[in-house]
């Protein structure tokens, strides 16, 4: 299987219609990427690795080096999906030149095909600058977790008319700037419908209804690694309890000396 390309992802939405929704999940490690790759169109090396892998309270402390290391692992573990790496907070907002330098570093270090950044109209010029210089950009509007200190929390966005209008305008600005896809996070369904109709590129929803051109979730959330997850997550499995049961079993066998057995033990040749 040849790796999908950004233009092929972009063209899955033609004349405003997406026949087959785009499937995206987060991946942070090589083995995880191997397991997800054949089932996905896109793998997102999300800065959500802050909470999921590093136990950080927000995505704000994530660095370019962290994203580069995990991005490289995910590219090594995949051969089919388009790999998109999140640009971390502070690596792209100051200027379009800063953004280009950071994005180029991420593509060089990882071999990924594209980057994702948060923000709408304010980032449109940057998206165009990168795209014109060989770096495809995925946008991200609505609930933008890197702005948690401005937003004051992780609640759904667009409950006021002004906020709803801003989200749609943000999506339009990114589309016109050449974004190849746009994540809509934590927005009310009517806004997701409006934004998806208003842009020529695919929208990828997370907490944004089934009316988007694709869906994304944090893999650990949908696998049931965490007790508490946002309302928009469906837990497809209860992996945490599988891990707990398995580890308890191992611990018991070690304490009883029933592991290892003869089968796992080296003996001198007779
Ligand atoms: O970091 C992340 O995982 C994301 C997705 C949830 C869209 O940005
Ligand atoms: Na992110």
Residue 191: its pLDDT value, please?
97
Token pair in block for residue 188: 């009310």
What is the arithmetic mean of pLDDT over 154-172? 95
Q: What is the pTM of this model?
A: 0.97
Check if 118 has its Cβ closer than 6 Å to any atom of ligand 1. no
Please provide residue 36's backbone torsions phi and psi, each rounded to the nearest 5 degrees: -90, -30
Query: Residue 129 Cα, ligand 2 centroid: separation in angstroms?
Result: 21
Distance CA 165, CA 174 (A): 14
Q: Say whether 160 counts as a known binding-site residue.
A: no
Looking at the domain 6-238, which fold is it?
TIM Barrel (3.20.20)
**What would the mean pLDDT of 228-235 be, rounded to a whole number?**
96
Identify the nearest ligand to the CA of 89 by its number. 2
CA distances (Å), origin 185, targets 3, 117, 130, 188, 207: 26, 13, 23, 9, 6
What are the residue ranges spanned by the domains of the chain? Answer: 6-238
Would you say the CB of residue 128 lies under 6 angstroms from ligand 1? no
Question: Sorting pLDDT into bands at 50, 70 and 90, what band is 201?
Answer: very high
pLDDT at 270: 82
Q: Is 46 a pocket residue for ligand 1 (Cβ < 6 Å)?
A: yes
Q: Confidence band (pLDDT; 50, 70, 90) for 257? A: very high
pLDDT one-digit tens code per residue, 44-58: 999 999 999 999 999
**Per-residue pLDDT, 1:** 63
Cα 156 to ligand 1 centre (Å): 15
CA of 250 to the centre of ligand 2 (A): 35
């Amino acid at each position: 299987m040849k790796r999908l390309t950004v233009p092929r992802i972009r063209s899955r939405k033609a004349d405003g219609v997406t026949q087959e929704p785009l499937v995206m999940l987060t991946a942070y490690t090589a083995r995880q990427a191997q397991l997800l790759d054949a089932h996905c169109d896109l793998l997102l090396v999300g800065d959500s690795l802050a909470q999921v892998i590093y136990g950080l309270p927000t995505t704000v402390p994530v660095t370019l080096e962290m994203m580069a290391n995990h991005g490289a692992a995910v590219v090594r573990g995949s051969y089919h999906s388009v790999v998109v790496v999140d640009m971390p907070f502070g690596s792209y907002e100051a200027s379009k030149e800063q953004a280009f330098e950071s994005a180029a570093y991420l593509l060089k270090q990882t071999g990924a095909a594209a980057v994702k950044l948060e923000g709408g109209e304010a980032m449109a010029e940057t998206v165009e600058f990168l795209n014109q210089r060989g770096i495809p950009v995925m946008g991200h509007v609505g609930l933008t977790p890197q702005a948690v200190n401005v937003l004051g929390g992780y609640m759904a966005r667009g409950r006021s008319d002004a906020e709803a209008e801003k989200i749609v305008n943000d999506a339009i600005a990114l589309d016109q700037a050449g974004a190849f896809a746009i994540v809509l996070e934590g927005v009310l369904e009517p806004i997701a419908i409006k934004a998806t109709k208003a842009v020529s590129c695919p929208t990828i929803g997370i907490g944004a209804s089934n009316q988007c051109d694709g869906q994304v979730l944090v893999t650990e959330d949908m696998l049931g690694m965490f007790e508490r997850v946002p309302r928009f997550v469906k837990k497809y499995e209860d992996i945490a309890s599988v891990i707990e049961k398995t580890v308890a079993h191992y611990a018991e066998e070690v304490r009883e000396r029933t592991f290892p057995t003869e089968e796992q033990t080296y003996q001198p040749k007779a």
